Structure 1
Amino acid sequence: MKRAAIIGGGISGLATAALLAREGYEVDLFEARDEVGGRAGSWESQGFRFDTGPSWYLMPEVFEHFYRLLGTSAEEQLDLRLLDPGYAVVYEPTAPGAVGERIEIAADRESNVALFESLDPGAGTALESYLDSAGETYELAKERFLYSTFADLRPVFSREVVRRTGRLVRLLLEPLDRFVRSSFGDERIRRLLGYPAVFLGGSPFTVPSMYHLMSHLDLDDGVLYPQGGMYTIIESLERLAEDAGVRIHRGTPVTKIVTKPIGGGKPSVIGIRYRGRDGVEVVHAAGTVVATNDLHAAETGLLPEKLQSYPQRWWDRRQAGPGAVLVYLGVRGSLPELPHHTLFFVDDWKGNFDSIFGPNASIPDPASIYVCKPSATDPSVAPAGHENVFILVPVPPDPGIGRGGVGGAGSDLVERAADAAIAQVAAWAGIPDLAERVVVRRTLGPGDLEADLGAWMGSALGPAHTLRQSAFFRAKNVSSRLTGLYYAGGSTIPGIGLPMCLISAELVLKRVRGDVSAGPLPEPARA
């Protein structure tokens, strides 16, 4: 029987394991920590349950397709709710002591067009055209780019793609910020349409305008939320993987990818070596190994340099996405000032991104931050009479910023950034006693992401989606030095985010099948 070893129990590891098990492989998954989930983890304290990573449920059709590959559906696995408003945006106050201007993004296109028109006459009509373009680009990306391994470019560059070459070249070469500015004059709108670059690990000044497709996801399709939290996605994939026969080994870090020379040709993987809970290292034989942990950690930490497809010198020429200071708060009393998702935007828009990505990197203050209050939708994530609040502060990708802790016990830089973010939310949203009402507090910093998840440079997301780190320019999902070694996760194709990680699992299945098609696989996958 074909044997596969999966390194890492995040969403891409669980998804890859489930697909390969249905394909007829004997699959063992090795997770270094005691819980699966990776970046999409969960933490509980005093009746509060926090998602420690991703908190946006976008691209629902990608989730649905993946669940159908496994013979089920999103409806069967998750209790999804449409958020309305999808999120709010709060802009920096114009005067000391004032609250920030707030707008709300609705769950439907028509309402958002009306909102834009109210902000700037003519912007509603411009948004219609912008969203038409975003939707068309998104559909083209799904059909020709996102589900391709790029092992053969002929299916990718179909007649339809070639016919649009001129437009695609512009979208690849023109930064998102410039593309947005060509259609909208209002700075509030420009920031709203440019900020999705952060969720791609980049800046609107460097991310290609191809990614204006992101606006189709929230302004056209709306934002969903799975009751119980995003970790319920991980729990569902864990169940489905084990139901398919996957053996999950928790608390067993992989220490080496084991290889063997094959004649005078390319050497092959023959398994992995892992450290058990008793501290003893064991070799597990497998002819197929899929590294779904951070690609930098997998390549530079588990292979000798001569067998690395992506050695350190390759990474030295790449741009990391931002790091993050993450703040988890249990708050006494209600917070009607905050919906489920809120974005806080500073006036010094470019300066904010220069602080994160520029040559003189520092923690922005004030910063454009993201706040999630899932208790607005889900009473199960907080005790009665309390709110669950999560704050993300984008910071430079630098583990030297430090690690977080419980109750203010993190490094000085991390806790100061957390204090500043809490004070900013309190002032801009009009919650003056916010800090006094905090009953649970935990922080994480870039140092935690590096130490706990092996995250390259402490990045919260991985390699940024710049031009040279997108589509077929991104790291491939197969080793160029070893037969039988594959990759999945946010570091490789197609990129960052939970939906992309699900697609990356499907791309591994395509690789082992030798499938070079450009679109999604037929549903369901083999059982």
Structure 2
Amino acid sequence: MKEKILVLGSGFSSMASSCYLAKAGYDVTVLEKNSAIGGRARVFKKQGFKFDMGPTWYWMPDVFERFFNDFGKKPSDYYQLEKLSPAYEVVFDTLKSIVIPDNLSEICEVFEKEEKGSSKYLMEFINAAKSNYEVAIKDLVYRPGESITELITPVTIKRAHQFFRSISKQVRGNIKSQKLIQILEFPVLFLGAKPSDTPSFYNFMNYADFGLGTWHPKGGMFQVVRAMEDLAISLGVKIKTNSEANKIVVKNGTATGVMVNNEFLEADIVLSGADYHHTESLLDTSYRQYSEAYWDKRTFAPSSLLFYVGFDKKLKNVSHHTLFFDTVFDEHAQAIYDHPSWPVKPLFYGSFPSVTDASFAPEGKEAAVFLIPIAPGIEDEPKIRDYYFEQIIDRFEKLTGQEVRSNILFKESYCVKDFIDDYNSYKGNAYGLANTLRQTAFLRPKIKSKKVKNLYFTGQLTVPGPGVPPALISGKIAASLIKNNFNS
């Protein structure tokens, strides 16, 4: 008889692990508390508009290829990819921006125009980043984070100094233009920490950016969710929505099942892709590995204040991905990481998918997602959300040289309280646990429970870290550990 596995949550890591486990012959059921699958990568629709509620960036296409190749498939079997040109745009002042092309040679030209001599350093930097990418993404990040020895290889020993020098110092030691510095520091924000706290080894994110490019799955990121759902079902995975886990049942130190909607479902193995902290709250206290004090001392990636906005006209002077860097990043970062509070004048990001993909908005209209990174756990009230919406719309109008407020058909907001309500997210964080030096690899919460036999975890709070590609990798790691360790 096949061993039964219950997988909590239906985000990228949960869906990835369920596919690997079903392929290995297990009887897999995915339990999703919400009415739709995808976790943070759900879709919101209104008045003919649609919005990716969570991830909007498709980076590291090779990781997606590797995932589908493991099942004899490829992404193009499920969705169509388009390389964005330009990749994105960074706005610094009124009608003054730097547009990032879709290839490295043109990016060098952009850098050289901004700062003479910078392109030479950029090529050296990206070549080093590519080398780190080869080491990290093709090897290190697929390791389970059980021991420091996983990081000690002849290759990493030669790069040990990169773990003790920050991205910020590396970049600022060679580039003088504040605009170019911000562009080079931007990709590591996906790792959830300040560039000054992120080891320079993580410059492989810059290769993901400039080397591999920015892509868009036609129809949006939810098409990737649908692809994984189709693959999972074809492998025999059962998916149940509106199924909330109330308690993980443990007998004699072994997980035996889950109370779901107050009904007991038996299992040989329980794998949670839900929030790690929340998952442990479903256990009796004696079976929890990490205390409240432990979680409170971790450095979390930001939460977000998001606005999903429908405009009744096409917008000018924006790209599919547009970063608004017209304020001082260091002050905003301090409000996120050093003194958690609402920022005075935050940087923000705009996603305008209907610039590229007509499926996101009715003809002649524009779908927009505005995102402000904020500290997790701060006060979240409607009046605060409204205040920041007015601020960013004022700045958006000024920076892009157009009036848009009268063209807003609707806006919906999403913030800390929603992340907690919908995803049981610790303090309402949006991206998980930051990848700082003290929270890397074996220093992150473990995939295999140390206290409960046959209980495992996957996702952004364990290895390898935040982001969609790491989530796919985390699912594979968790499935491999289960296959190797079950009943051991």
Q: TM-score, normalised by structure 2?
A: 0.96
Q: 1:425 to 1:451 in 2, by over 3 A?
A: same
Q: 1:233 to 1:449 in 2, by over 3 A?
A: same
Higher helix share: 2
Residue 346 of structure 1 aligns to which amino acid in structure 2?
D
Q: 1:366 to 1:150 in 2, by over 3 A?
A: closer
Q: Which secondary structure does the structure 2 equivalent of 1:283 belong to?
A: strand
Q: Is the 8 A contact 1:393 1:421 kept in 2?
A: no
Corresponding residue to 2:272 among 278, 281, 291: 291
Equivalenced residue count is: 484
Q: Find out whether 1:216 has 2:207 as its counterpart.
A: yes
| Partner residue, 2:323 | 343
Corresponding residue to 2:361 among 382, 386, 406: 382
Cα distance, 1:513 vs structure 2: 2.7
Q: Which deviates further from its counterpart, 343-352 or 76-85?
A: 343-352
**Whole-angstrom distance in 2 between the partners of 1:141 and 1:133:** 12
**Whole-angstrom distance in 1 between the partners of 2:203 and 2:155:** 20
| Partner residue, 2:130 | 135
Cα distance, 1:362 vs structure 2: 2.6
Q: 1:313 to 1:155 in 2, by over 3 A?
A: closer
Q: Which secondary structure does the structure 2 equivalent of 1:401 belong to?
A: coil
What's the CA shift string for 1:325-371, capped at 9, x where partnerless? Answer: 10111111111311100111134221121122222x33223211111
Q: Find out whether 1:195 has 2:181 as its counterpart.
A: no
What's the CA shift string for 1:408-446, capped at 9, x where partnerless? Answer: xxx111121122122221111212x11111112111111
| Partner residue, 2:419 | 449
Q: Which deviates further from its counterpart, 377-386 or 313-322?
A: 313-322
What's the CA shift string for 1:152-211, capped at 9, x where partnerless? Answer: 65564332333x1xx33x322222212210121111111111122322112122222222
**Whole-angstrom distance in 1 between the partners of 2:138 and 2:183:** 27
**Whole-angstrom distance in 1 between the partners of 2:191 and 2:355:** 26
**Whole-angstrom distance in 2 between the partners of 1:503 and 1:376:** 31
Matches within 5 A, 1:39-188: 39-91=40-92, 93=93, 99-151=94-146, 154=149, 156-162=151-157, 164=158, 167-168=159-160, 170-188=161-179
Q: Find out whether 1:493 has 2:463 as its counterpart.
A: yes
**Whole-angstrom distance in 2 between the partners of 1:434 and 1:366:** 20
| Partner residue, 2:397 | 426
Unpaired segments of 5 or more residues in structure 2?
Answer: none
Matches within 5 A, 1:269-308: 269-275=255-261, 281-299=262-280, 301-308=281-288
Q: Find out whether 1:205 has 2:175 as its counterpart.
A: no
What's the CA shift string for 1:45-87, capped at 9, x where partnerless? Answer: 0000100000000010100110111221111111000001000
Q: Which secondary structure does the structure 1 equivalent of 2:277 belong to?
A: helix
Q: Is the 8 A contact 2:145 2:443 kept in 1?
A: no
What's the RMSD between the two structures over aligned residues? 1.4
Unpaired segments of 5 or more residues in structure 1?
Answer: 94-98, 262-266, 276-280, 403-410, 516-527
**Whole-angstrom distance in 2 between the partners of 1:512 and 1:482:** 13
Q: Which deviates further from its counterpart, 414-423 or 146-155?
A: 146-155
**Whole-angstrom distance in 1 between the partners of 2:233 and 2:138:** 31
| Partner residue, 1:353 | 333
| Partner residue, 2:11 | 10
Q: Find out whether 1:367 has 2:367 as its counterpart.
A: no
**Whole-angstrom distance in 2 between the partners of 1:373 and 1:397:** 25
Residue 192 of structure 2 aligns to which amino acid in structure 1?
G
Cα distance, 1:386 vs structure 2: 0.3
Q: Is the 8 A contact 1:477 1:488 kept in 2?
A: yes
Q: Find out whether 1:320 has 2:300 as its counterpart.
A: yes
Q: Which secondary structure does the structure 2 equivalent of 1:71 belong to?
A: coil
**Whole-angstrom distance in 1 between the partners of 2:326 and 2:425:** 28
